């Protein structure tokens, strides 16, 4: 019994064209041959008989036979054609020139297949590079569009427009928006455009305190008055580090108005609260004027009436910094 064990895995070498009359090389097999350590010498003795076995069909058409013994490995390649097995170390007789031609055709077909695959891989690489460059182009165009939006979108320009009465809702919207700006871009400048008839004094105080807190944390706050800066809107206008007023804009100062329902003590409490808020508003105006106007002057002109002030007068009283 032979000491050789092998397993075969058929592989197609090449499809021999139909016009070749001697299609004797169609299939090759790679065989893994294991050798017991003590029988290494017998391999070379039994190899010729093994090749003959292949010729008789018991082994089959074989190319590639590995003999392993520990750290030693010997590789033999065998080709079977027309009932004869040839080892690469053997020379093919002249009588089997057809075998040589078939082998050359198979080798040529393999080379052509490898060249075609290399060409295809190159084409795929070129296409991949093209797609990558196209993706980069689209990405750059998207960034450019986003940059244009940032230049034109008031939200990303940190511009807030208050063109409505001051209510709890408008106060909430302004506080949420400016808070988002502060988180997204710490220390950014913010501009508040005001064209408002006024509204809730308490909501205005909430907005005023919020803007002054942002200013204290490093944000430059600019308030810009346009058209009508009336009542509570005039208080909010004072929250800016820089206060600009349009030349044709008008400023309104008056006492706090309120509505009260209930018993006499309830009405008295409401009146006292309104007077306290009026005094607080006047204190804000005096403080922001930088000493250009006194509290007594403001009380005298705003008591029991609506006091409309032109932009020039607002500048003279120190309630605005510049026209613009």
The answer on 197 and 147 residing in a single domain is no
The answer on 228 and 147 residing in a single domain is no
CA distances from 86 to 49, 156, 220 (A): 12, 81, 92
Nearest by Cα to 196 from 233, 251, 155: 233
- Mark which of 133, 152, 171 sits at the end of a domain: 152
- Mark which of 106, 128, 152 sits at the end of a domain: 152
Total-model pTM: 0.56
Range of the domain at 284: 154-323
3-class SS of residue 114: helix
The answer on 77 and 20 residing in a single domain is yes
The answer on 50 and 20 residing in a single domain is yes
pLDDT score of 99: 67
**Using 50, 70 and 90 to split pLDDT, how confident is the model at 37?**
very low
What whole-number percentage of the chain has pLDDT above 90?
A: 45
Report d(CA 300, CA 309) in Å as an integer. 14
The answer on 111 and 165 residing in a single domain is no
The answer on 136 and 163 residing in a single domain is no
What is the number of structural domains in the chain? 2
Contact yes or no for 190/220 (Cβ under 8 A): yes
Average pLDDT over residues 119-133: 90
The answer on 34 and 76 residing in a single domain is yes
The answer on 255 and 148 residing in a single domain is no
CATH number, position 252: 3.90.226.10
**65: Cβ contacts below 8 Å, ≥ 6 apart:** 6, 31, 33, 75, 76, 77, 78
**Using 50, 70 and 90 to split pLDDT, how confident is the model at 47?**
very low
Q: How many CB atoms are closer than 10 A to CB 302?
A: 19
The answer on 209 and 146 residing in a single domain is no
Average pLDDT, the chain: 76
The answer on 14 and 139 residing in a single domain is yes
The answer on 181 and 142 residing in a single domain is no
Average pLDDT over residues 77-105: 54
Least-confidence region, from 22-26, 145-149, 157-161, 249-253: 22-26
- Mark which of 152, 173, 207 sits at the end of a domain: 152
The answer on 258 and 288 residing in a single domain is yes
Average pLDDT over residues 190-205: 96
């Amino acid at each position: 019994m032979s000491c050789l064990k092998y397993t075969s895995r058929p592989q197609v070498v090449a499809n021999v064209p139909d016009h070749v009359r001697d299609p004797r090389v169609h299939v090759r097999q790679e065989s893994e041959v294991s050798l017991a350590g003590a029988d290494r010498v017998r391999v070379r003795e039994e190899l010729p008989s093994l090749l003959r076995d292949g010729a008789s069909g018991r082994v089959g058409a074989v190319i590639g036979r590995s003999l392993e013994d520990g750290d030693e490995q010997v590789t033999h390649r065998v080709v079977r054609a027309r009932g004869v097995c040839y080892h690469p170390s053997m020379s093919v007789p002249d009588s089997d020139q057809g075998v040589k031609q078939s082998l050359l055709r198979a080798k040529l077909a393999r080379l052509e297949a490898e060249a075609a695959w290399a060409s295809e891989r190159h084409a795929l690489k070129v296409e991949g590079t093209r797609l990558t460059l196209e993706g980069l182009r689209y990405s750059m165009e998207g960034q450019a569009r986003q940059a244009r939006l940032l230049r034109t979108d008031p939200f990303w320009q940190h511009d807030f427009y208050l063109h409505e009465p001051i209510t709890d809702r408008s106060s909430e919207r302004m506080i949420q928006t400016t808070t988002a700006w502060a988180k997204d871009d710490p220390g950014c400048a913010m501009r508040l455009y005001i064209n408002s008839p006024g509204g809730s004094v308490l909501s205005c105080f909430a907005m005023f305190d919020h803007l002054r807190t942002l200013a204290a944390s490093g944000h430059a706050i600019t308030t810009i008055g346009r058209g009508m800066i009336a009542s509570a809107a005039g208080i909010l206008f004072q929250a800016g580090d820089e206060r600009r007023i349009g030349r044709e804009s008008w400023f309104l100062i008056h006492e706090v108005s309120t509505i009260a329902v209930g018993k006499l003590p309830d009405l008295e409490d409401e009146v006292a609260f309104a007077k306290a808020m009026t005094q607080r508003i006047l204190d804000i105006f005096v403080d922001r004027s930088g000493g250009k106007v006194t509290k007594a002057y403001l009380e005298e002109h705003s008591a029991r009436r609506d006091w409309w002030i032109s932009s020039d007068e607002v500048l003279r009283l120190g309630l605005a910094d510049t026209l613009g």
